[in-house]
């Protein structure tokens, strides 16, 4: 059985380049509900239209949830308009770079060839895949919201596709 990785977070504001992530996507700008790459009253109008008309328009929930409470409602519109009126950027998302010691031995101490790692978000008894990485013992988790506590653990994958037990989880909150 493969030994579990040991992980540690490093916090980075904004978006750090990530050579380890298999897929990378630029996150939407917080507050840009209509997707025009600007923050203006049009975003609030677009969100109001979505809230009161419904599925006629579609919004990116991550970029419109400026209250960072996990739901889209009038609070997001009020927060967006308040931020625009006082000239403040909406609360932003952040990233965390996780690094761990590469696994090279199984639990019995024998040499093991690890081909990758899986990083999971943990919540209760549920785990959700956050990233799968190869060629390094690191990942930059992007799109994390401020004020939210995250619990993360890592597993190692060997040549045969066997997955180790979860590492000790770590908690972080920004």
Q: In CATH, what number is assigned to the domain containing residue 146? A: 2.60.40.10
Q: Are residues 107 and 77 in the same domain?
A: no
Q: Are residues 97 and 163 in the same domain?
A: yes
Q: Are residues 61 and 82 in the same domain?
A: yes
Closest CA to 4 of 164, 170, 171: 164
Considering its fold, how many domains does the chain have in total? 2
Q: Are residues 99 and 80 in the same domain?
A: no
Identify the domain containing residue 145 by its residue range.
6-14+92-173
Contact between residue 61 and residue 68 where contact means Cβ atoms under 8 Å apart: no
Model confidence over 81-106: pLDDT tens digits? 988 888 876 656 677 788 888 888 77
pLDDT at 80 over 50: yes
Model confidence over 26-59: pLDDT tens digits? 445 678 888 787 888 988 898 888 888 875 566 6
Whether the model pTM is above 0.75: no
Quote the CA–CA distance of 88 and 36 in Å, as a whole number.
18
Burial class (CB in 10 A: 0-12, 13-18, 19+), 164: buried
């Amino acid at each position: 059985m493969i030994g579990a990785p040991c992980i540690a977070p490093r916090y980075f504001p904004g978006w750090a380049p990530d050579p380890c992530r298999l897929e990378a996507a630029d996150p939407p700008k917080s507050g840009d509900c209509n997707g025009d790459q600007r923050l203006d009253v049009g975003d609030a109008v677009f969100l109001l239209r979505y809230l009161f008309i419904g599925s006629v328009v579609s919004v990116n929930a991550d970029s419109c949830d400026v209250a960072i409470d996990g739901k889209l409602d009038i609070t997001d519109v009020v927060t967006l308009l308040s931020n625009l009126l006082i000239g403040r950027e909406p609360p932003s998302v952040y990233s965390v770079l996780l690094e761990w010691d590469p696994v090279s031995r199984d639990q019995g101490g024998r040499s093991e060839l690890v081909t990758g790692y899986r990083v999971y978000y943990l919540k209760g008894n549920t785990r959700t895949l956050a990233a799968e990485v190869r060629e390094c013992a690191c990942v930059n988790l992007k799109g994390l919201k401020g004020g939210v506590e995250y619990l993360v653990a890592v597993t190692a994958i060997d040549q045969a596709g066997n997955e180790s037990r979860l590492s000790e989880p770590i908690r972080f909150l920004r």
